[in-house]
Amino acid sequence: MKALNIIFAFILFTCSQAWSQANVPMVGDVAPSFTGESTTGKINFPGDYTGKWKILFSHPADFTPVCTTELMELARLQDKLEKMDTKVIVISSDGLNSHLSWVKDMETIKYRSDDDPVKINFPLISDNTLEISKKYGMIHPNASTTRTIRGVFIIDPTDKIRAMFFYPFMVGRNMEEIMRTLTALQMSDDKNVLIPANWIPGGDVLMHSPKTQADAEKLAAKNDPTLREITWYLWFKKMK
């Protein structure tokens, strides 16, 4: 048993060291600031976007299959994101000329047979020195020392990091999950509710737990048709 505890402690230490070396900012931290040149001009982040939700989205390389599908899917979501007061900023280690050429090419692609080509309005930032990527822990040395991992940071209007994802080079991100998380965060902030596992927009949400069983009984006595009790500390709420 003692040997198992030692092994477990070593694994935890190794993981924490790797995470620390990647220098990943934590959920709740203020988003690290940077200035960068992009396909839409110079960007001061997050200052230029304070007061709005932000998705910082890194990718390994321009003119590659998986990255192209990801950016095309992001482009299809631009109108929805605009309605959610959310800005997308994309970053990789490629140069600005490469970004501009890639965007121009993608805007001619009929990505889906039932869709026309889409215009890419969000900026692609060049980070060929990796200075920005390192601030966000987007360089994972055991994957690559020169290419950014597939990272996503969702950042709120006060410039705090609220969620983050990392994917390997060979697997594209699920844009529906990114949108689901953004929607969940906005609803949680706006309605002061919690979001259950596997929630999808329009589904029931969770109430904050009553502090005591007596408080739960008072809640039940209200006979609110939008509330559903599972047990005294677990209450679902139907959103109108």
Give the tokens for residue 54: 């932000």
Catalytic residues: 67
* Sole residue written with tokens 């596997």: 198
| C-alpha to C-alpha distance for 35 and 45, rounded to whole angstroms | 6
Per-residue buried b or exposed e for 8-22, using 16+ beta carbons within 10 Å of the residue's own CB: eeeeeeeeeeeeeeb
Burial label for 55, CB within 10 Å (0-12, 13-18, 19+), is buried
Burial label for 106, CB within 10 Å (0-12, 13-18, 19+), is buried
| C-alpha to C-alpha distance for 236 and 240, rounded to whole angstroms | 13
Select from 150, 163, 80, 166 the least CA-distant residue to 121. 80
DSSP string, 14-25: HHHHHHHHHTPP
